[in-house]
Amino acid sequence: MRHVESGSLAEYLGIEPGDSVLSVNGRTLRDEIDFRYLWAEPDVTLVVRKRDGREESFRIDKDPEEPLGVVFQDPLFDSMKVCRNSCVFCFIRQIPREMRKSLHVRDDDYRMSFLHGNFISLTNLSEDDWRRIEEQKVSPLRISVHTTDPRLRQVLMSNPEAARIMEHLSRLAGMGIKLHAQCVLLKGVNDGEHLLRTLRDLDSLGENMVSVGVVPAIYTRYRPSPPSPRMDPAWADEVLDMIEDYAAGALKRRGSHWVYGADELYLVSGRPLPPYEYYEDFYQYENGIGIVADWRRSLEETLEEQRRIRRSGRPDPGRDSGHTRGAVPWRRKVLAVTGEMAEDELRSAVEKLGLEKQVYVCPVKNTFFGEQVTAAGLLTGQDILSAVLRFVRGMDRKERLLVAVPDIALFDGMFLDNLRLEDLSKATGLETVAVRPTPASLLEITAWGEGSIPNAG
């Protein structure tokens, strides 16, 4: 185990980080899914190997919903199932070979789809996998569909097995597995009538096909000859017309909009984004769908909290009545880093929160991957460093400036190009922290002193 939660059943039993679960009810575990499935019983016999090699056995009577309270070092206990496809739009194939090895792992593992929401293609499942999915009700699963046209999907994914997508989806739906689908859309390839057919086919699977997300294919500068034209405003608007028209019909039939377009389609087209309620349970949030609506709702909640604070007479962390040094109100100046896609939303939040004098917005152009990549989560350390140095050039270096980087740009403490936060601090001479990309974080990082930054990663 990597972590044992404080106050948990595991802590009560004396289980510690570094211990290993050997079996549950006499069955050896293949992965975390086995553990979850077997642990759901009310009477459990748990065998644990301690760090010193000793084995301990526990007989536990519990509520089926009560967790053990552990985090496994690796949820898979064995190797990852890798992708057997060669999709023409694969993002991983569009990054430099010299980037760290983990970034080149093209996982296509149904277990990671269940455990962490990864999208899978269904082209590499064995009959043992199918039996296990049915037996243990491994649900929900997220599926990269792209198109339901057998020939076109086979071409897009360069794998004959890809043609069987509707057969595989029907089989899963028949098992009662809940499904979420993704369609990566290529201009002039699987859009238009192809997209409409895909939506109709997926809709025919009934209530087990819970949601569909449509996202545009993105090409980096390392793909000089992409398989389709790059996205443009007119095309994005045309795609959204089709999606919203189908969603209106789905709402009447299903009580859900069911199909959702990526935020990027709205931002590129220039048309207004749907309100928060439109996205219902935000099924496709990790797919870049509904993030802006969620940000705007969070901003309204933060503004309402400010208003409540002012009415109560308590100090407002967004104003000069906050923390002070001596008798002089002290406000930290912040350079808020973001990708180009979120620049307007961040500037709007700064203005509405009344932080124009405390927060500078620093949009970062993605020169590493190319101009079409505008999400904050794909920013590299070197691009952030260049943008920060350009921004602060000519500023008064005596000004106490904190660089705030969205934590979604970091993976295991590193940016995609292996730079770390401390590398940025050393190169700029400015304190640099990772923060959650939320409106509330803007208030918090301007109100606190060095070393006391809430929600910093």
Look at residue 396 in the predicted model and tell me its pLDDT. Answer: 66
Of 229, 263, 287, the residue that ends a domain is: 287
Contact 219, 185 (CB under 8 A): no
If asked whether residues 317 and 364 sit together in one domain, one would say: yes
Q: Which residues lie across from 56 on neighbouring strands? A: 48
If asked whether residues 37 and 174 sit together in one domain, one would say: no
If asked whether residues 105 and 251 sit together in one domain, one would say: yes
Look at residue 184 in the predicted model and tell me its pLDDT. Answer: 97
Look at residue 21 in the predicted model and tell me its pLDDT. Answer: 94
Look at residue 326 in the predicted model and tell me its pLDDT. Answer: 37
pLDDT, tens digit only, all 457 positions of the chain: 899 999 999 999 999 999 999 999 999 999 999 999 999 999 999 999 999 999 999 999 999 889 999 999 999 998 889 999 999 999 888 888 777 777 777 899 999 999 999 999 999 999 999 999 999 999 999 999 999 999 999 999 999 999 999 999 999 999 999 999 999 999 999 999 999 999 999 999 999 999 999 999 999 999 888 999 999 999 999 999 999 999 999 999 999 999 999 999 999 999 999 999 999 999 999 999 999 999 999 999 999 998 998 888 766 555 543 433 333 344 578 999 999 999 999 999 999 999 999 999 999 999 999 988 999 999 999 999 999 999 988 776 656 789 999 999 998 889 999 999 999 999 999 999 999 999 999 988 887 544 444 444 4
If asked whether residues 126 and 182 sit together in one domain, one would say: yes
If asked whether residues 271 and 406 sit together in one domain, one would say: no
Q: What residues contact residue 424 under an 8 Å CB cut-off, 6+ apart?
A: 381, 384, 385, 388, 403, 405, 430, 432
Of 287, 314, 347, the residue that ends a domain is: 287
First to last CA, the chain: 22
Look at residue 95 in the predicted model and tell me its pLDDT. Answer: 85
Q: Is residue 164 part of a domain?
A: yes
In total, how many domains does the chain have? 3
If asked whether residues 63 and 168 sit together in one domain, one would say: no
Look at residue 316 in the predicted model and tell me its pLDDT. Answer: 59
Q: Is residue 367 part of a domain?
A: yes
Dihedral class, residue 98 (left if φ above 0, else alpha if ψ from -120 to 50, else beta): alpha
Look at residue 395 in the predicted model and tell me its pLDDT. Answer: 75
Q: Report the CATH number that the domain containing residue 31 is assigned in CATH.
A: 2.30.42.10
Structure tokens at 245: 């028209």
Q: Is residue 86 part of a domain?
A: no
* Residue entry with tokens 């509405």: 352
Distances (CA, A) of 302 to 222, 282, 298, 309, 416: 40, 20, 6, 11, 31
If asked whether residues 189 and 256 sit together in one domain, one would say: yes
- DSSP codes joined into one string, 243-301: HHHHHHHHHHHHSS--EEE-HHHHHHHTPPPPPGGGGTTTTTGGGTSSHHHHHHHHHHH
If asked whether residues 302 and 160 sit together in one domain, one would say: no
Q: How far apart are CA 307 and CA 358, in angstroms?
A: 19
Q: Report the CATH number that the domain containing residue 371 is assigned in CATH.
A: 3.40.50
To the nearest 10°, report the CA torsion of 413, 414, 416, 419.
160
Q: What residues contact residue 68 under an 8 Å CB cut-off, 6+ apart?
A: 8, 9, 10, 15, 39, 46
Look at residue 93 in the predicted model and tell me its pLDDT. Answer: 84
Task: Report cis status (omega within 30 of 0) of the bond before 67.
Answer: no
Of 71, 102, 121, the residue that ends a domain is: 71
Find the domain containing 382 and state its range: 294-447
Structure tokens at 422: 């401390």
Q: Report the CATH number that the domain containing residue 175 is assigned in CATH.
A: 3.80.30
Q: How far apart are CA 441 and CA 451, in angstroms?
A: 15
Look at residue 322 in the predicted model and tell me its pLDDT. Answer: 40
HSE-CB of 204 using CA atoms within 13 angstroms: 11
**Residues found in the chain:** 457
Look at residue 99 in the predicted model and tell me its pLDDT. Answer: 78
Q: Is residue 453 part of a domain?
A: no
Rounded to the nearest 10 degrees, what angle do helices 233-254 and 192-203 cross at?
20
pTM of the full structure: 0.89
Which three-class secondary structure state does DSSP give residue 429? coil
Q: Is residue 145 part of a domain?
A: yes
